[in-house]
Amino acid sequence: MFARTCSKVANDFPGVKFEEMYVDACAMNLIRQPQSFDVIVTTNLFGDILSDEAAQVVGGLGMVPAANIGDNFGLFEPVHGAAFDIAGKHIANPTSFILSIKMMLEWLGNKHDDQKCIEIGQKLESVIYDLAKIILKQKILVEIKLPWSLLKKLSQGFNLSGSLGYKITSLTLSIPRIIVSSLSSPNPHPACGGIPQSNACK
């Protein structure tokens, strides 16, 4: 019934390519050809499994935002949940939390037709990429001192999520404060690119 319903709804959107796929083939292709996917519509159990797999493809659960969106309200949070087991250890990767805020700002902007809100979300995402470049460079320079150890490290694989969790926590503690000040002040924080406050995001 789920597949039939998806196919029926797809007929209303001829400009969107629709393809039905068994879950095992989907899991394989997420590894083999991740770029071939745009949106996956599936049931809750399969979605939980495939979303965790997709998170690993891009670096781990610490990288991935999540949203539960209804007709009137949206709930945004890291895909991994609260992660109480690493609380206070200063090893948590806040990327998924910050990108969840970015998704929330985009959703609010689209819902209320507020381009400034969307732009703030995009600026926030660009900050993450800039920090990631700095941290990965610092990690290689500080932690890996000898060429042979660098080769050994790379040969064993480089866990992007773990790397980003190394120092990014302390660097991004101020980002939520920057967002709040940008949304509530007529003189936004320069880190947000001089974007004026947004009506939808007040």
138-194 pLDDT tens trace:
665 544 444 444 444 444 444 434 434 434 444 444 454 444 454 445 554 444 444
Q: pTM for the full model?
A: 0.64
CA-based torsion, 189, 195, 197, 202: positive or negative: negative
Q: Which residues, in sequence order, are CB contacts of 166 under 8 Å at separation 6+? A: 135, 139, 143
pLDDT of residue 47: 92
Question: What CATH homologous superfamily does 1-82+91-142+167-183 map to?
Answer: Isopropylmalate Dehydrogenase (3.40.718.10)
Encoded amino acid at 66, one letter: A
- Name the more confident of 164 and 116: 116
CA-based torsion, 44, 49, 50, 56: positive or negative: positive
Q: Where are the domains of the chain?
A: 1-82+91-142+167-183
Q: How confident is the model at residue 49 (pLDDT cuts 50, 70, 90)?
A: very high
3-state secondary structure 40-98: CCCCHHHHHHHHHHHHHHCCCHHHCEEEEECCCCEEEEECCCCCHHHCCCCCCCCHHHH
Return the axis-axis angle of helices 175-184 and 95-111, rounded to nearest 10°.
20
Q: How confident is the model at residue 118 (pLDDT cuts 50, 70, 90)?
A: very high
Res. 21: pLDDT tops 90: yes
CA-based torsion, 9, 2, 51, 117: positive or negative: positive
Name the percent of the chain lying above pLDDT 70.
Answer: 66
55-95 pLDDT tens trace:
888 888 888 899 999 988 999 988 876 778 877 887 777 88
Return the axis-axis angle of helices 115-143 and 175-184, rounded to nearest 10°.
160
Res. 202: pLDDT tops 80: no
Q: Helix or strand or coil: residue 107?
A: helix
CB atoms within 10 A of CB 21: 14
